[in-house]
């Protein structure tokens, strides 16, 4: 056991990002649920729940501690926004500049509905013989 440990550190040298010797705390499902909504600052598009980087590990630990102190989900998120700005929230707030990202899909859907309504409403009814003609032409080779 000890032989490998020695070998291990010799080989890994400076690359290995060492963690402190004390074991990490226990994390409840609630911690992960909150961490999933926060961005890991050092990562490239991973949440604090997914990443194994030092900062993300510390963020999970802070969340666990704050939950133990009886802080709510919103208070914990506010804590991180205070330090990192709204960038850290994976769910864009429904206000200010990010309100539009929520509104646009709804607006788009409304436009789509209107367009479809116009599309499916007969523009002007074509005479039946013309319709048949169109159908026949389609079947022609």
Partner 1 sequence: MTPALLGNLGVSLALAFSLLGLALSLLAYSQGDGRFLKGAKALVLPAFLAALTAFLALEWALLTHDFSLAYVARNHSTQDPLWVTLVTPWAALEGSILLWGLLQTLYTLLASRKSVDPWRASLVLAVLFGIQVFFFGVMATIASPFETLPNPPADGTGPNPLLQNHWMMAVHPVLMYLGFVGLSVPFAYAVAAMVVRRYQTWVGETRWWTLIAWGFLTAGKVAGMWWSYEVLGWGGYWAWDPVENASFIPWLLSTAFLHTAIVQETRGAFKAWNFAFVTLAFAATVLGTFLTRSGVIQSVHAFAEGPVGPAFLGFFLLVTGLGLGLLSRVSREVRDTVVFRLLSREGALLLGAFFFAGWALVVVLGTFYPLLVEAFTGAKVSVGAPFFNQVSAPIGVGILLLMGVGPILPWRRPRAEVFRNLYMLLAVLLLGTLLGLLRGYTFGASLAVGLFLYNTAAIFLLVREGVLARLRAGLSPWGFLENRRRVGSLLVHFAVALMGLGIAFSQTYRLESEKTLYRGQAWEVGGVRMEFLGVRALDEGRRFAVEASLRTNRFGEVRPRLHFYPQMNSPLPAPKVVYTPGNDYYFLLMDFDREKGEWASLRLIVTPLVFWMWVAGGLMALGTLYILWPAPRREEVRGVSPA
Partner 2 sequence: MRFPAGNTLRSWLWLLVVLALGGLFYWGMQRNPKELPSVLAKERRPAPDFTLPVLSPYQEEWGKTFKLSDHLGGKPIVLNFWASWCYPACYEEAPVLEATWRRYRDRVLFLGINTQDKEGDALRFIEQFGLTFPQVFDPRGRVGVDYGMYGVPETFVIDREGRVVVRHAGTIDQATLERYLKEVLP
Q: Tell me which residue of 25, 89, 86 sits closest to 57, measured CA to CA.
A: 25
Residues 31-60 that bind partner 2 (CB under 8 A): 41-42, 44, 54-55, 58-59
Q: Is 126 in the site for partner 1 (CB under 8 A)?
A: yes
Structure tokens at 74: 């919103």
Q: Which does 82 bind (CB under 5 to 8 A by kind): partner 1, partner 2, none?
A: partner 2
- Minimum CB separation of residue 41 from partner 2 in Å reads 3
CA dihedral (52, 53, 54, 58) in degrees, to 10, reads: -60
| SS3 at position 134 | helix
Q: Work out the burial of residue 3: count CB atoms within 10 Å of its CB; fewer than 13 is exposed, 13-18 middle, 19 or more buried.
A: exposed
| Residues 60 and 27: beta-carbon distance below 8 Å | yes
Residues of this chain that interact with partner 1 (CB under 8 A) are 1, 4-5, 7-9, 11-12, 15-19, 21, 23-29, 31-33, 36-37, 39, 43-47, 49-50, 52-54, 60, 85-92, 97-98, 100-102, 104-105, 108-109, 112, 116, 119-120, 122-123, 125-126, 131, 134, 138, 141
Q: Which residues bind partner 2 (CB under 8 A)?
A: 14-21, 41-42, 44, 54-55, 58-59, 61-62, 80, 82-85, 87
């Amino acid at each position: 056991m000890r032989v490998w440990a020695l070998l291990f550190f010799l080989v890994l040298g400076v690359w290995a990002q060492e963690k402190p010797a004390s074991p990490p705390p226990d994390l409840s499902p609630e911690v992960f649920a909150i961490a999933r909504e926060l961005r890991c600052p050092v990562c490239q598009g991973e949440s604090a729940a997914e990443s194994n980087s030092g900062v993300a590990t510390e963020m999970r630990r802070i969340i666990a501690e704050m939950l133990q102190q009886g802080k709510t989900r919103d208070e914990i998120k506010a804590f991180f926004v205070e330090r990192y700005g709204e960038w850290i929230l994976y769910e864009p707030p429904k206000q200010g500049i990010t309100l539009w990202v929520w509104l646009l899909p709804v607006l788009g859907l409304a436009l789509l509905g209107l367009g479809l309504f116009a599309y499916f409403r007969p523009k002007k009814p074509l005479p039946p013989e013309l319709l048949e003609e169109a159908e026949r032409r389609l079947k022609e080779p």
